[in-house]
A and B are shown apart, each in its own frame.
Chain A
């Protein structure tokens, strides 16, 4: 059985080396989750993780003539993945411009769903700002705010990763804060205090 599957992968690689897109598609399906899942964990950004995964697989395809010499595809793939992601971590993720996001992402202020529910009253302006959030961010925000769901529950509801739910939430809060902080307004400030606590969802 084990030998069988090895044989099949070897055949796939040879087909791909000859330019067979269907074979490449199969290979992509076998490894997509592993590559994307790791990239997501490494970047904390679903979009970046998707772009990186695509880059990784495109590199495999665009240098497919090398596949005939590849002994272990897995380590070949992960070497390409490592090199691709390493550069991106340096140039995008661990940058000053991303620091605010990461600080909020890893901020550990815990708060129970009950406390969130108690503070359901939000100002009109805050509501308007919330309604103009990008769709994904808006969905995540509303589910956590109105229904008090955890990231794990939101993730199941929206068919996304819990990590992505958390990322969208932090982004939503940063947008709201940026948009509203310039308006000195008592109600708003109350709203923002509430906001600074809301993303403490565990998952």
Chain B
């Protein structure tokens, strides 16, 4: 019986794909899809479709060049993946400084360290994308009602975005909004269920403007700190690229940047569960769980949680992590490019600064800790 049904579903999918379905069979196909059985049949069908070269022939609708151009602005280009001309320019800059130093008999380190342009710190700001695709720059938007989205209204108050949902209205189809911070910006928002989210620089969160159904699910890339409003009946789920964090009401911080090899989840209060395709682990308060994105391996350690979320309190903690991770975090906040002229130094620095200082203060601090660097424009080169 089951076999018969599987077969029928498979045949319907194939007929749909190959333009052979009849109007009447649509109802049948819809029924199978609604029942959500036979996921494997659907997957096999998708696989055989992608693997069949016959379908490539008719693909003439779009000019591939334009399609590729359309992807460009969404292609993450982490600054550590150096373009050769940038590396060459940096090398040339170092050479020029070195030559100047040599010619004028000045000790070259002094010339190297001269900061030509200072870089101001990051500030509050983000871009909001409404469900229709309209974008609102939150840096400059005035306070008050920004828009109505689905059953929710959204207001900006200072550097905070609030979603309020009319609970009496049914949520038919969830409406999704996206808030993204570029490098050099951070922002705070309050979701429709009262959950507070601090979004760090270079991050993005996508969420429904009102929650419905069995879970409160949002998507995140980058770093965010959450204080989830308690609702044990409807778990809050943070979907990351390869894993998900399931919570019932708690305080935790997540880092999942595309240019970092690890995903870190740090729990301050409550309990969360982290799931990947083949693994699941329960996290206790005070612990940070790390997933190696390449291998999928879990590890956990006790951390100073206040340091982990210091960024939400306008503090810049230096030395909490290894050198390269720390520098990438600085580069995201000041929107600078980083170059290593040699190997990445194996240094551990320790300290805490206000996030509101210019880059020169941070670099000065690092220098006191034995970091050598040069700077040209917005590129900082770390010397061995």
Binding site for B on A (CB under 8 A): 18-19, 21, 24-25, 28-29, 32-38, 40-42, 46, 49-50, 53-54, 57-58, 61-63, 65-66, 69, 74, 78, 81-82, 85-86, 89-90, 94, 99, 102-103, 106-108, 155, 159-164, 203
Let me know if A40 and B50 touch, CB within 8 A.
Answer: no
Please measure, in the bound complex, the distance between the C-alpha atom of A50 and the C-alpha atom of B62, giving whole angstroms.
8
Contact of A163 among B58, B70, B261 (CB under 8 A): B58
Residues of A within 8 A of B241 (CB): 63
B243-286 interface (Cβ within 8 A of A): 258, 261
Residues of B within 8 A of A32 (CB): 59, 64, 67
Let me know if A85 and B46 touch, CB within 8 A.
Answer: yes
Of all A-B residue pairs in the complex, the 5 with the closest CB atoms, nearest first, are: A19-B81, A37-B59, A161-B58, A37-B55, A33-B56
Let me know if B50 and A106 touch, CB within 8 A.
Answer: no
Task: Type the 1/0 row for B43-62, where 1 means its CB is closer than 8 Å to any CB of A.
Answer: 10011011111011111111
Please measure, in the bound complex, the distance between the C-alpha atom of A85 and the C-alpha atom of B82, giving whole angstroms.
33
Separation in Å of the B204 CB from the closest CB of chain A? 12
Separation in Å of the A24 CB from the closest CB of chain B? 8
**Given A33-B59, A82-B50, is A94 in contact with B33 using a C-beta cutoff of 8 Å?**
yes
Please measure, in the bound complex, the distance between the C-alpha atom of A66 and the C-alpha atom of B261, giving whole angstroms.
10
For the complex, is B104 an interface residue (Cβ under 8 Å from A)? no
Let me know if A78 and B51 touch, CB within 8 A.
Answer: yes
Please name 18 further chain A to chain B contacts, defined as beta carbons within 8 Å, in addition to the given A50-B61, A106-B16, sorted by A numbering: A19-B82, A28-B64, A29-B64, A34-B53, A37-B55, A41-B18, A49-B61, A54-B74, A61-B75, A63-B258, A65-B261, A86-B43, A89-B42, A99-B30, A106-B21, A106-B25, A155-B60, A164-B61
Let me know if A42 and B49 touch, CB within 8 A.
Answer: yes
Contact of A41 among B26, B49, B67, B261 (CB under 8 A): B49
Let me know if A86 and B258 touch, CB within 8 A.
Answer: no
For the complex, is B17 an interface residue (Cβ under 8 Å from A)? yes
Please measure, in the bound complex, the distance between the C-alpha atom of A116 and the C-alpha atom of B115, giving whole angstroms.
76
Please measure, in the bound complex, the distance between the C-alpha atom of A187 and the C-alpha atom of B43, giving whole angstroms.
49
Number of interface residues of B (CB under 8 A): 46
Please measure, in the bound complex, the distance between the C-alpha atom of A36 and the C-alpha atom of B57, giving whole angstroms.
10
Contact of B55 among A28, A41, A53, A78 (CB under 8 A): A41
Residues of B within 8 A of A103 (CB): 23, 26
Contact of B22 among A21, A25, A108, A164 (CB under 8 A): A108
Contact of B70 among A49, A54, A61, A74 (CB under 8 A): A54
Contact of A86 among B46, B55, B76 (CB under 8 A): B46
Separation in Å of the A77 CB from the closest CB of chain B? 8
Contact of B26 among A19, A53, A99 (CB under 8 A): A99
Separation in Å of the B178 CB from the closest CB of chain A? 14
Residues of B within 8 A of A57 (CB): 71
Contact of B68 among A28, A42, A46 (CB under 8 A): A28
Please measure, in the bound complex, the distance between the C-alpha atom of A175 and the C-alpha atom of B353, giving whole angstroms.
61
Let me know if B81 and A161 touch, CB within 8 A.
Answer: no
